[in-house]
Amino acid sequence: MNRTGVLMRCLFFFGLVSLFVSPLVAALSVGNLRCEGVRRPNQVDTPSPRFSWVLETDRENTRQVAYQFRLIEVDGYMRPMGEPSETERIETEQSAWVSPPGMELKPRSAYLWKVRVWDNHGQDSGWSEPQRFGTGLLGDRWRADWVGDGGAVELFETAPARYFRRNLIIDTPPVRARLYVSAKGLVEPWINGKAVTNDLFVPGWPDYRRRLFYVSYDVTELLQEGDNTLGMVLGDGWYSGTMIPRHQFGREPRFAAFLDLMDADGNVATINSGEEWRWTDEGPIRMNSIYHGETYDARMELVDWCAPGAADGSWKPVTTRSGRHTPQAFTARLSPPVRRIETLQPKAVEEREPGVHIYDLGQNMVGWVRLKVKAKKGQQIRLRFTEMLNADGSLHTENLRKAKSTATYVAKGEGVEVWEPRFTYFGFRYVELSGVEEPLEDAIEGVVIHSDLPRRGHFECSDPMLNQLYSNTLWSQKGNFLELPTDCPQRDERTGWTGDAQVFAPTALYNMEAGAFYRQWLYSLRDGLRDSPNGGFPDVAPLTGFGFGSAGWSEAGFIVPWTVYLHTGDKRVLEESLPTIQHALEIMAAQSPDGLRISPATWGDWLSPGYPRYKSPPRQDLIGTAYYARAADIAARIADELGRPELAASNRALRDQAKGAYQKAYIEGNGVVADDVQTSYFLTLGFDLASDTQKGSVEDNLLRVIAEKDNHLATGFLGTPLIMPVLTEMGRTDLAYTILKQTSYPGWLYTVKNGATTIWERWDSWTPEDGFHPHNMNSFNHYAYGSVVGWFYSDIAGLQPLPEAPGWKRFRVAPKPGGGLSHASASLETPYGTAASNWRIEDERMKLSVTVPANSIAEIILPTDDWESVMLNGDLVESGIEGIELESGTHNFDFSIR
Name residues whose C-beta falls within 8 Å of residue 373's C-beta, 6 or more positions apart in sequence. Answer: 381, 409, 411, 416, 417, 419, 436, 439, 440, 443
> Are residues 667 and 690 in contact, defined by beta-carbon separation less than 8 angstroms?
yes
> Are residues 436 and 356 in contact, defined by beta-carbon separation less than 8 angstroms?
no
DSSP letter string, 3-28: HHHHHHHHHHHTTSS-TTTS-SS-SE
Q: How distant, in Å, are the alpha carbons of 19, 34, 145, 816, 838 from that of 206?
A: 47, 24, 19, 42, 41
The sign of the dihedral angle between the CA atoms of 626, 631, 632, 633 is: positive
Paired sense of beta strands 406-410 and 380-386, if any:
antiparallel
Q: Cα separation of 479 and 450, whole Å?
A: 6
Grouping H, G, I as helix, E, B as strand and the rest as coil, residue 535 is coil
Q: Cα separation of 255 and 148, whole Å?
A: 7
Q: Which of 245, 243, 782 is nearest to 546 (CA)?
A: 245
- Catalytic residue ranges: 493, 761
CA 71 to chain centre: 30
Residue 568: enclosing H or E segment and its boundaries?
helix 556-568
> Are residues 195 and 232 in contact, defined by beta-carbon separation less than 8 angstroms?
no
CA 267 to chain centre: 39
Partners of 889 in the β-ladder: 852
Q: Cα separation of 501 and 784, whole Å?
A: 8
DSSP letter string, 776-810: S---S--GGGGGGHHHIIIIII-EEEBTTBTTTTE
> Are residues 190 and 331 in contact, defined by beta-carbon separation less than 8 angstroms?
no
What are φ and ψ of residue 15, in 5° steps? Answer: 75, 30
Q: Which of 338, 361, 349 is nearest to 757 (CA)?
A: 361
Strands, sheet with 857-860, edge to edge from the N-terminal-most edge strand: 799-801, 810-813, 857-860, 884-886
Grouping H, G, I as helix, E, B as strand and the rest as coil, residue 531 is coil
> Which amino acid is it at 696?
G
Q: What's the residue count for the chain?
A: 898
Name residues whose C-beta falls within 8 Å of residue 303's C-beta, 6 or more positions apart in sequence. Answer: none
Exposure on the CB side of residue 273, measured as CA atoms within 13 A: 32
What are φ and ψ of residue 412, in 5° steps? Answer: -100, -10
Q: What is the DSSP letter of 690?
A: S
Q: How distant, in Å, are the alpha carbons of 111, 113, 225, 694, 753 from that of 81?
A: 9, 13, 22, 68, 61
> Which amino acid is it at 386?
T
The sign of the dihedral angle between the CA atoms of 601, 604, 607, 613 is: negative
Q: Cα separation of 240 and 546, whole Å?
A: 19
Q: Which of 849, 860, 812, 887 is nearest to 119 (CA)?
A: 887
Q: Cα separation of 130 and 40, whole Å?
A: 10
What is the distance between the terminal CA atoms of the chain, rounded to a whole angstrom?
Answer: 71
